[in-house]
Amino acid sequence: MAGPRRPPGKKPRSDGTSGRDPKKLSQRVKTARGRTLSSTRWLERQLNDPFVSRAKLEGYRSRSAFKLTGIDDEFHLLKPGGRFIHSNWQFLNSDRLRRRIQPWDTVGLDPAALEPGDYLLDWRQGGHGLRYVHHFEPDELTALAHRAGFEPIDGFYSDGEGGNLGLYQVWRKGFPETERP
């Protein structure tokens, strides 16, 4: 009998383990009235994501810092001084979207266990769905950029009602050591 199937390109770990720490307990999400099984599973994955835990341990506000550094480490897409545009959804700038904010007890979570700026939005279109979002303030994005080795050099708001639902920042890779935070 063949062993368990794995996606193409996935290699087994050399130590024969799954890579998960068996001592680390995963956080379970309580069922909530009206939430689908797929929403519950998504929330559990989000809460048990090792990059989220690592980000908290290393003082990052988001796991996206690992995405930036990981992409650059693997593909070397940006040379020092290279630039890219970072966009961030500013949903709190919309009265309509603010009305979609749901209480965390809807999914059985204690708000004290979450970061400031974490929100749960009602995200339905003819059904029931929830979406976890984090609202980044401009100073949070600047700190994230610095920790990931970038310097924000320009920024502007655009898109949506009132032209302020998207915060765009131009980030430059690397900056002189004398200016490093």
pLDDT value of residue 107 = 85
Q: How many domains does the chain have?
A: 1
Mean pLDDT (the chain, rounded): 76
**Is 17 part of any domain?**
no
Q: Which residues contact 86 (CB under 8 A, 6 or more apart)?
A: 141, 145, 152, 168, 169, 170, 171
Q: Which range of residues forms the domain containing residue 116? A: 37-179
| 7: pLDDT strictly greater than 60 | no
pLDDT value of residue 33 = 66
**Is 150 part of any domain?**
yes
pLDDT value of residue 165 = 92
* Percent over 90 (pLDDT), the chain: 19
Structure tokens at 75: 């593909």
Q: Is residue 114 classed exposed, middle or buried when 0-12, 13-18 and 19+ CB atoms within 10 A define those classes?
A: middle
**Is 141 part of any domain?**
yes
**Is 74 part of any domain?**
yes
**Is 139 part of any domain?**
yes
**Is 130 part of any domain?**
yes
Please give the average per-residue pLDDT across 1-21, as a whole number: 45
**Is 131 part of any domain?**
yes
pLDDT digits over 62-108, tens only?
677 677 677 777 877 778 888 888 889 999 999 989 999 999 988 88
**Is 14 part of any domain?**
no
Better-scored residue on pLDDT, 147 or 35: 147
H or E segment at 146? helix 138-147
pLDDT value of residue 57 = 78
The beta-strand segments (E) located in the chain are 83-89, 101-102, 118-122, 130-134, 150-158, 166-173
**pTM exceeds 0.75:** no
Q: 150-158 and 130-134 as β-strands: parallel, antiparallel, unpaired?
A: unpaired
Strand partners, 156: 168
Ranking 13-22, 33-42, 47-56, 103-112 by mean pLDDT, the lowest is: 13-22
Number of neighbouring beta carbons within 10 Å of residue 3: 6
